[in-house]
Amino acid sequence: MELQDAEAYVKVVTRRTSTKDALAWLGEERAVSRPIDLPTLLASLLSIEDQAPTADVRGLAGRVIRQVCRAEVVSGLDPSQELLALDEVLRPAQYRAALDALAARTATRTLTSVTLAAVISAQHDDRNVVTALCAAAGLSYRDLRARVQDASVPTDLRGRWKNDQLKAVFDVIDAVITGRVTASSPAAHPARPVEHLLPDIDDNEPGRRRGWALVEQMRVHGVPYELLLTQRAVGSAWVSHRSSTGKKVQAAVTTSLCELLDERSVPFYRLAMNAASRELLTRVGANPATAAEDGRNEGGQLAVLVHSPALTHAVAVSVARDGGTARKSGARLGTLPARLGIACSVVLVGPGWAERNTTAELVRPFNGRIYTERTVAELADALSAMVAQGGGVAPTGQNGAAQPAGLVDDPLEVRS
């Protein structure tokens, strides 16, 4: 952006007559003309920071960028306060059915005598058995897989299991519940479910059942409310579910953007962490080395590719619940446009982005094109305008998903 245009824009937004007064007005967070075209404002401030003739104005523009980001790049979606995919949560009745199915296959018809053979038989008929045992041991599936030695396990906890895989995970679960786990330091305790661990610390209840006998007691007689509250205190509410559905926040925002692009007949591809998407990026001129990288290196951030004869543009979506996550994600995200070698926009979701200067550090690499889930419609409008500026694009109807090379004559074809 030319300096003259940049200065004109900040003056219009602030209704000031000089650039320095306009910057000071923004720096003091005073009222401005609404609605603000935030990407244009940020791009204007960048131009002033780079091109202003005096050092004091350049420095002021740099400081204002940070303040504007804190004030304006505010996401209303807080993953710590909102839940997704409740239909995926296993219901209490399903846990009970799985444990009852397991107990029915033991010699005593109780969990006090649970064996590997009983687990294998029960899991065959009720795919929630391993899920219930993980919960009984206080292990997320990720933690369980990390503890399994010398055996691969299914990626889906409720999928098909081989006998040797069930043996590997049952050995881990049994060791946790029966207390055959140790800590690396005398000052620590091995992580176990609170109902199993606290009696060992507060050993003031003679005769208290331990291990599988305690699990059986709770299966039959229930869990006291105070124990439920203790579990919430040490593990917090919904933490495992939020961790397992974290990527769905990004997916939901990406879906909203894709629907808006479809409404505007903007040709796009929804990207995934797979070879087909990397091939697409390479074909449209993205840096082959970057496009060939494992998608996990992007943190799942690269979400949409808009491609037409007039425009090649990538959109990243990144979620940060806190400032620490924003700092970690921002460091990698900020290098994305340069590594890809094509123009990019970014959608920032979550309260973490407003907590640190990380957001301001993204202004330059993305040339001010920063949005939140609140402004994805503005992003769709901007992309539609960019496509239109290069010539007419025929309406496409339903846009495409990335396809592996060879499935269509042109992998970049947007199919209706």
Domains of the chain, first to last: 3-72 (no CATH), 86-242 (no CATH), 246-401 (3.40.50)
Q: What average pLDDT does range 398-411 have in this prediction?
A: 39
Per-residue pLDDT tens over the stretch 193-248: 888 887 665 555 666 788 999 999 999 999 889 888 888 888 876 777 666 666 78
Q: What average pLDDT does range 391-395 have in this prediction?
A: 37
C-beta separation of 40 from 369 below 8 A: no
Q: pTM for this structure?
A: 0.71
CA 271 to chain CA centroid, nearest Å: 15
Task: Report the percent of the chain where pLDDT is more than 70.
Answer: 85
Query: For 66-75, 122-131, 196-205, 218-227, which range has the lowest pLDDT when averaged over its residues?
Result: 196-205
Encode the chain in three state secondary structure.
Answer: CCHHHHHHHHHHHHCCCCHHHHHHHHHCCCCCCCCCCHHHHHHHHHHHHHHCCCHHHHHHHHHHHHHHHHHHCCCCCCCCCCCCCHHHCCCHHHHHHHHHHHHCCCCCCCHHHCCHHHHHHHHHHCCCHHHHHHHHCCCCHHHHHHHCCCCCCCCCCCCCCCHHHHHHHHHHHHHHHHCCCCCCCCCCCCCCCHHHHHHHHCCCCCCCCCHHHHHHHHHHHCCCHHHHHHHHHHHCCCHHHHHHCHHHHHHHHHHHHHHHHHHCCCCEEECCCCHHHHHHHHHCCCCHHHHCCCHHHHCCCEEEEEEECCEEEEEEEEECCCHHHHHHHHHHHCCHHHHHCCEEEEEEECHHHHCCCHHHHCCCCCCCCEEEHHHHHHHHHHHHHHHHHCCCCCCCCCCEECCCCCCCCCCCCCCC
CB neighbours of residue 306 within 10 Å: 25
C-beta separation of 346 from 369 below 8 A: yes
Per-residue pLDDT tens over the stretch 244-294: 666 788 888 999 999 999 999 999 999 987 788 888 888 888 875 665 554
Q: How far apart are CA 262 and CA 285, in angstroms?
A: 23
When mean pLDDT is compared over 106-115, 138-147, 228-237, the highest value belongs to 106-115
